[in-house]
Amino acid sequence: MITKIKEKWLAAGKSLVFLAALMPLGKLAWLASHQGLGANPIEKITHTTGYWTLSFLLLTLTATPLRALSGWLWPVRWRRMLGLFAFFYACLHFLTYLVLDQFFDWTAIVKDIAKRPYITVGFAAFVMLTPLAATSTNNMVRRLGGRRWKLLHRLVYLIGILGVVHFWWLVKKDITEPAQFAGVLTLLLGFRVVQAVRKRLVR
């Protein structure tokens, strides 16, 4: 009985998080339809979708430490959804660049990716994120096998680093925001390093 009630709360919580995760997009759409995106709407959309891609990446990476520290199971049960939202906002971010910013100017895009280090790392992170999203189903976990799946999904650590570097390198001068993301990421990855070292020592 108690577990059943708990399950119900967990499912309701997950639905709420799902709706909350759509709010940044909803706000953008509302602003867009009310001429609220300012003088440079494309820049605003690019920055907003990029910001939320990084935020959801960091939220996804918070699940494991949170479980370890609290013993709760729910963070890990929401992890896949959060990760997919990171991919969702990354797609919007990339599409904004492709369609709104460059309007399919492929020569300019290829040049950008090759020549501009911040675009190179951002694009690399996006490319790496794709197989993680594609293998996020239970079926794919089974087909790959737990060990291999886990190994593949460790790519998210590198993706997080590249994402923050992408942000750091693109700002003109004020690095406050990328530095905040870098700080949180350092904590999240540092936690894993400490745990791995401990495990080794115990053995």
Partner 1 sequence: MSNWKTPAVLSSEITPQEVYLRRREFMRISAWAALGATLPGSLFAGEKLSGVVRTPYQLSDPLTPLEDITHYNNYYEFGTDKESPGKTAGSLKTRPWTVAVEGEVHKPKVWDIETLLKLAPLEERVYRLRCVEAWSMVIPWVGFPLAELIKRAEPTGNAKFVEFTTLNDPQQMPGVGSPVLDWPYREGLRLDEAMHPLTLLAVGLYGEVLPNQNGAPIRLVVPWKYGFKSAKSIVRIRLLEQMPQTSWMKAGPSEYGFYSNVNPEVDHPRWSQAKERRIGDFFKRPTLLFNGYAPQVAQLYAGMDLQKFF
Is the CB of residue 82 less than 8 Å from the CB of residue 60? Answer: yes
Is the CB of residue 48 less than 8 Å from the CB of residue 28? Answer: yes
Nearest to 21 by CA among 78, 75, 90, 85: 85
169 binds partner 1 (CB under 8 A): yes
137 Rama sector, left if φ>0, alpha if ψ -120 to 50, beta otherwise: beta
Residue with tokens 């460059």: 102
Q: Is 147 exposed, middle or buried (0-12, 13-18, 19+ CB in 10 A)?
A: exposed
Task: Read off the tokens for 143.
Answer: 């087909």
157 binds partner 1 (CB under 8 A): no
Residues whose CB is less than 8 angstroms from the CB of residue 3 and which lie 6 or more positions away in sequence, other chains included: none
17 binds partner 1 (CB under 8 A): no
Cα–Cα distance, 14 to 77 (Å, whole number): 9
Give the residue, chosen from 109, 133, 170, 182, that forms a contact with partner 1 under the rule CB under 8 A.
170
Site string for partner 1, 84-103 (x = CB under 8 A): ----------------x--x
Closer to partner 1 by Cβ: residue 12 or 171 = 171
Size of the site for partner 1 (CB under 8 A): 20
Closer to partner 1 by Cβ: residue 147 or 172 = 172
Minimum distance, C-beta of residue 36 to partner 1, in the bound complex (Å): 11
Closer to partner 1 by Cβ: residue 4 or 173 = 173
51 binds partner 1 (CB under 8 A): no
143 binds partner 1 (CB under 8 A): no
Residues in contact with partner 1 by CB under 8 A are 38-40, 42-43, 100, 103, 108, 111-112, 115-118, 169-170, 172-174, 176
